[in-house]
Amino acid sequence: MTQPIKIDHIELRMVHLPLLTPFVISTGTMTHKTFPLLILRGDGLEGVAEGVMDPLPDYLEETTAGALDLLRGAVLPKLLGQRLSAPTDVDPLLAPWCGNRMAKAVVEMAVWDLWARSLNQPLCHLLGGARDQIEVGVSLGIAPLDVTLDRIAEAQDQGYRRIKLKIKQGHDLALLAGVRDRFADIKLTVDANTDYTLSDLPVLRAMDAFDLDYIEQPLAFDDIFDHVQVQAAVTTAICLDESIRTAKDARIALQMGAARVINIKVGRVGGYAEARAIHDVSAAFSAPVWCGGMLESGVGRAHNIHLATMPNFTKPGDTSSASRYFARDIVNEPLEATNGLMPMPRGPGIGVTLDYAALDAVSEVVEVWTA
């Protein structure tokens, strides 16, 4: 930024966006995407980001209520009126608070968007991204085998580059056998969202028969250590999602042999600074990364696309077409993949703009701060 931007208007909303199809994972079922949306304004520009925490702590510990408390009570009142010359200028407002990386990410990511817009640059250029489109696959929720087979056929027809199946105890080996029976050659992965324990090693070992690209997060969210035993017991690569909140987590996991692949979600790890550090430490260990998703609206989806243009994102990500999730998105630009390739939204910042008519229909303003 040549001229610092003064943050003179902040708007925090809660958005409640219905999903076209309920999304089922081992920890529960989502029928709506409920999230805080942050809009930072300054110099006539808008920087936006959404939170990936859930109303209740079923994926990780953070909740929307906790995020609102931290943002309203401590961070946003101090951000108002600040002059920011670079995204790291916001660090002193976030550093005093423990954890809460999803809540902190909302602020950090909105600042990056605003900064990129002030420089009239697509965000990916500032991140060192090297592509203008990214390879994507789909993440399919837990469903009976026949439904899953239909969904895979549809995703295949649409050209998606990999299929990720959500699994849980008792909904795993027979499902995989049925899928491989019909689709012998597709690039296939599974995601357990922490549903297994070390006593399930025989089941996890049996997954080696299905030529999976990786098994995502078999054990508890806070358990990097026991994943070492899983990775040692299976030939399939282990990928960690929930367990990786920092670059240090990634370094420890890769050093110990707890995983060979890392799922990076910028909204989970506290923002771009940490996401880039995880990207870099993974590259140093020759471990590929890919960009996960949390059923984001067009705002979070656009952020994910920009992040995934960085060079070590060498496996297809979860950022599939927004039209798979929502009848009406809250951004003006369609985010649609063709033949498994999601184009980077053009234009400054994250390249999408809020559709206020659509947004107003699904949100309420929590609070506004004006300088």
Interaction between residue 241 and Mg ion (CB under 5 A): yes
What is the C-alpha to C-alpha distance for residues 85 and 348, in angstroms, rounded to an integer? 17
Mark residues 261-300: x for contact with ligand OSB by CB under 6 A, - for none: -------------------------------xxxx-----
Q: Tokens for 334, please give them.
A: 């369609």
Question: How do 45-50 and 363-370 pair as beta strands?
Answer: unpaired
Q: Which is nearer to ligand OSB, 320 or 363 (CB)?
A: 320
Dihedral through CA 291, CA 268, CA 64, CA 169, nearest 10? Answer: 70
Partner in contact with 293, chosen from ligand OSB, Mg ion, none, beta carbon below 5 to 8 Å by kind: ligand OSB
- 33 given a catalytic annotation: no
Among 13, 46, 59, 176, binds ligand OSB (CB under 6 A): 59
The verdict on 54 binding Mg ion (CB under 5 A) reads: no
Does 155 interact with ligand OSB (rule: CB under 6 A)? no
Q: Which of residues 174-193 bind Mg ion (CB under 5 A)?
A: 191
> For residues 216 and 274, which CB has a smaller minimum distance to Mg ion in the complex?
216
Kindly report the backbone phi and psi dihedral angles of residue 24, in degrees, each rounded to the nearest multiple of 5, phi listed first. -110, 125
> Strand, helix or coil at 344?
coil
Shortest Å distance, C-beta 369 to ligand OSB: 30
Six token digits for residue 264: 């990076």
Q: Does 296 bind Mg ion (CB under 5 A)?
A: no
Residue with tokens 């209740």: 56
Alpha helices in the chain (DSSP H): 64-70, 76-79, 91-94, 101-118, 123-127, 145-157, 173-182, 201-206, 224-233, 247-256, 272-284, 298-307, 356-362
**Nearest-CB residue for ligand OSB:** 293
Q: Whole-angstrom Cα distance, residue 348 to residue 117? A: 5
Q: If binding is defined by CB under 6 A, does position 241 make contact with ligand OSB?
A: yes
Among 172, 223, 274, 318, binds ligand OSB (CB under 6 A): 318
Contacting positions for ligand OSB (CB under 6 A): 25, 59, 139, 191, 193, 241, 292-295, 318, 320
Contacting positions for Mg ion (CB under 5 A): 191, 216, 241
Active-site residue numbers?
166, 265
